[in-house]
């Protein structure tokens, strides 16, 4: 049975976590150094000892993935590139991890990926791209792949990735206006409106949307929808019933919650959670 997006369970733990070797999936997490923290939330090494399928719900963080052993199929169709960048998605994606697949993930802050990628982030929304082509550094990434595969520890792997990104960060801090807009949306409620945000930021709605799409990848309204869905997931994981979740997460009513959830996952909440949460 597919697991509910393992980031829901693993995402908020700030401690370095060493793997339990008896588990079919092993994790090792490392928070980056101070210089990268405005751009990257965490590095996560994941190892799969056998064939594994999982589903990942929409999130507000782009992800760069560096497979150093084995391979992964996306949505039952394409094979993920050896070095891949996934922009923000508004819908669920499915992964099939082959036997012995191992990958290092860099989870960006909502505004962080634009510090490393020159194209506007909206070009990557809803897609997984070959990072070697995006950065035009194929030979360098091939060397990094060899180093990751040959590293003697996961700590060494995360250090290799941290050094890689430190050498490529193009700005000292994320765009301050868009960072403020993201924080406003993440801490707001369903009653907050985009026109309230434009007054708070001091830009016209069209100017804010253009800048937000370029830095984050999707519009402020769509970003707010993903934030609301993630809030509902956390509430449901804590045992709240669907009526309370819909109200407290910021939806107009339960029908609004069900509509948004179906659009994001292809399923209504009750059967989705029944199928996804391990017994």
pLDDT of amino acid 233: 87
pLDDT of amino acid 250: 86
Residues 112 and 5: their CA atoms lie apart, in Å, by 22
189 φ, ψ (degrees, to nearest 5): -125, 175
pLDDT of amino acid 20: 42
Radius of gyration of the chain (CA): 19
DSSP state, residue 277:
S
Please give the average pLDDT of every successive group of 10 residues along the chain, which has 279 residues: 39 35 82 97 97 92 97 94 95 94 98 93 95 91 97 97 96 95 85 84 95 97 93 88 88 90 90 65
- Return the number of other C-beta atoms located less than 10 Å from residue 238's C-beta: 8
Residues 41 and 275: their CA atoms lie apart, in Å, by 29
Residues 259 and 265: their CA atoms lie apart, in Å, by 10
Domains of the chain: 3-166 (2.60.120.10), 176-276 (1.10.10.60)
Residues 190 and 231: their CA atoms lie apart, in Å, by 11
pLDDT of amino acid 2: 35
Which among 208, 215, 205 has a CA at the least distance from the CA of 175? Answer: 215
DSSP state, residue 137:
-
Residues 12 and 4: their CA atoms lie apart, in Å, by 15
pLDDT of amino acid 16: 35
């Amino acid at each position: 049975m597919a697991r509910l997006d393992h980031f829901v369970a693993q995402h908020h733990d700030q401690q370095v976590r060493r793997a339990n070797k008896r588990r079919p999936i092993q994790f090792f997490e490392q928070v980056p150094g101070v210089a990268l923290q405005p751009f990257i939330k965490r590095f996560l090494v994941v190892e799969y000892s056998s064939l594994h399928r999982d589903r990942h719900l929409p999130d507000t963080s782009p992800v760069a993935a560096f497979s150093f052993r084995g391979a992964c199929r996306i949505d039952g169709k394409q094979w993920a590139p050896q070095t891949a960048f996934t922009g923000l998605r508004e819908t669920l994606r499915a992964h099939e991890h082959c036997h012995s697949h191992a990958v290092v993930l860099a989870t960006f802050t909502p505004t962080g990926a634009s510090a490393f990628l020159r194209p506007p982030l909206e070009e990557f929304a809803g897609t997984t791209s070959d990072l070697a082509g995006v950065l035009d550094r194929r030979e360098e990434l091939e060397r990094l792949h060899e180093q990751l595969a040959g590293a003697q520890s996961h700590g060494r792997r995360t250090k290799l990735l941290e050094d890689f990104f430190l050498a490529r960060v193009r700005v000292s801090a994320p765009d301050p206006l868009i960072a403020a807009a993201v924080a406003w949306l993440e801490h707001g409620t369903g009653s907050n409106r985009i026109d309230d945000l434009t007054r708070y930021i001091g830009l016209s709605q069209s100017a804010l949307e253009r800048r937000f799409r370029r830095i984050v990848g999707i519009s402020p309204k769509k970003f707010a929808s993903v934030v609301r869905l993630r809030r509902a997931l956390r509430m449901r994981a804590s045992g709240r019933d669907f009526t309370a979740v819909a109200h407290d997460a910021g939806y107009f009513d339960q029908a609004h919650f069900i509509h948004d959830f179906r659009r994001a996952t292809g399923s209504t909440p009750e059967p989705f959670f029944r199928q996804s949460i391990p017994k």
